[in-house]
Structure 1
């Protein structure tokens, strides 16, 4: 049964009441036509249950904006959704992403995450000795090839989906592909992301990935609480310092907490940002497969005009690339090899829903 507007419907009952499903929910394509965002394509997904997501087709098929019942949940930077042609990853000594980063989800990778670095490139043959890696890699600003969008019914349940393919390649270098499928159930308050990363080249290639899931005002405000998963060997006072959020201040600086999470019986890890004072209580829960993403980092910056908290599941713990290489901790994908990542974002609204979330 589909739940919409406080009522339940079978497929037949719902379709008798509307001429097109888009009247209540669905996927609408669009593009920006002015300023630095001009020509950037996107898809607007609406569940009919209050959840809305803007998928940025030309920005790595990432999620630019996330809203629930009209309330913005995602962080936005001063940059805006700049067109990919304006992005230069190598500028600012490899920190070009700081001139382009924006939105709720920024996928980092596919061969490097975190600070700009240099590394060996001998695995690609004799043509290159070293490789340059800009901040958080290159994939997030690459335009996707739009593969499909649609709806699928399973008896009386319906799910919307969209799919895109992003490629990162270089002559005498890597050829990596990310195929992403985003699904949103009709009438629901969640969306799932399934990523398939494949080495489409003919050489062994390093792979790293991090999901920069960025949340901002009004969800992130004074008194909002972070629900962290159980962890190994973390200092209680350090974790506690990250649980309650603060107001922006001129003295704020970057703060990072690395969590070594213990997954649940299903092999997944759950993190949530909760604001009990927002619209009767609202929370976003991030749930992901810990076997593919064993590391977890929380980044926040309460500077004026910043006010951001990011939940960051990753393939590697926070360390410089050279240290990871020396320790043999960078994974190499063989030609044709594929890795699957899965994440779910769920919205919880109301006092009772927040209490259930805290108990779980």
Structure 2
């Protein structure tokens, strides 16, 4: 279900995945939330409180020092992806924030960590004609081969009639005060424990 109010700057999605069949089935789920201009631009910034993260592959490892910052449209750019174990607030939600270069507007995804324990950042700053976009992607798993995710315990098994529920909220921040408030929250959550940043792909993630 999608919930919002007239004049609101946010909406909430509650999803339920049900196995209607007669046999146990496996389920993977990732929300590929694509964001572009005006939030995405050269110098745009990504923020997320996390306990641990790693690049998906050697290509992503090339940009590990700059994973929070975005290039402008770049012809020939090859995508990069980063995997995170997020940290949640006192209500159980993790805030993922994309802000424009000046920090005057932001795109915020608050997701319920207990049901969406994985987060993927997808960076695809190709030319605008080829698709200048980034993905903020909470999920129950990472976008690896299913066999790999099964081995790491990130594939959900549903018996006949069983359901799995997820929840997240998307907000548009249209001034620097609202952006700063979320940034401060992320900083406080990050300070709860030192974040581990792997400079190369790690077996825990991929």
Q: Same fold (TM over 0.5)?
A: yes
Q: Tell whether 2:154 aligns with 1:334.
A: no
Flag the 1:344–1:328 CA change in 2: closer, same or farther, 3 A: closer
Deviation (angstroms), 1:239: 5.5
Q: Does 1:223 align with 2:43?
A: yes
Report the Cα distance in structure 2 between the residues aligned to 1:252 and 1:193, rounded to whole angstroms: 32
- Runs (5+) with no aligned partner, structure 1: 1-180
SS of 2:142's partner is coil
Unaligned segments of structure 2, at least 5 residues:
56-61, 186-206
Flag as ranges the 4+ runs of structure 1 deviating above 6 A. Answer: none
- Secondary structure of the 2:78 match is coil
- Asked if 2 retains the 8 angstrom alpha-carbon contact of 1:199 and 1:205, the reply is yes
Correspondent of 1:309 among 122, 134, 158: 134
For normalisation by structure 1, the TM-score amounts to: 0.46
- DSSP 3-state at the match of 2:144: coil
Task: Give the structure with the larger strand fraction.
Answer: 1
Look up the match of 1:346: 171
Aligned to 1:267: 92
* Equivalent-residue separation in structure 2 for 1:312 and 1:321 (angstroms): 17
Partner of 2:195: none
Please give the secondary structure, in 2, of the residue aligned with 1:248: coil
Q: Tell me how far 1:233 sits from its aligned partner.
A: 5.7
Deviation for aligned residue 1:265: 2.1
- From 272, 289, 295, the counterpart of 2:118: 295
Larger radius of gyration: 1
Distance in 2 (CA, whole Å) between partners of 1:354 and 1:329 is 32
Q: Give the drift of 1:322.
A: 2.1
Q: Which has the higher contact order (CA 8 A, sep 6+)?
A: 2
Deviations 1:104-138 (Å, cap 9, x if unpaired)? Answer: xxxxxxxxxxxxxxxxxxxxxxxxxxxxxxxxxxx
TM-score (norm. length: structure 2) = 0.78
Aligned match of 1:194 in 2, 7, 14?
Answer: 14
How many residues align structurally?
177
User: For the Cα contact (< 8 Å) 1:211–1:312, is it kept in 2?
Assistant: yes
The answer on whether the counterparts of 1:196 and 1:340 sit within 8 Å (CA) in structure 2 is yes
Cα distance in 2 for residues equivalent to 1:285 and 1:327 = 29
Q: After superposition, what is the alpha-carbon deviation per residue over 1:296-351, rounded to whole angstroms, capped at 9, x for unaligned?
A: 10011111221110011111134322223445542210111111111100111112
| Structure 2 counterparts to residues 1-360 of structure 1, below 5 A | 181-232=1-52, 240-277=65-102, 281-304=104-127, 305=129, 306-327=131-152, 329-360=154-185
- SS at structure 2 position matched to 1:355: helix
Question: 2: distance between equivalents of 1:301 and 1:333?
Answer: 33
C-alpha change, 1:197 and 1:187, in structure 2 (3 Å) is same
- 1:277 and 1:233 map into 2 onto residues whose CA distance is 26
- Counterpart contact for 2:140–2:154, Cα < 8 Å: no
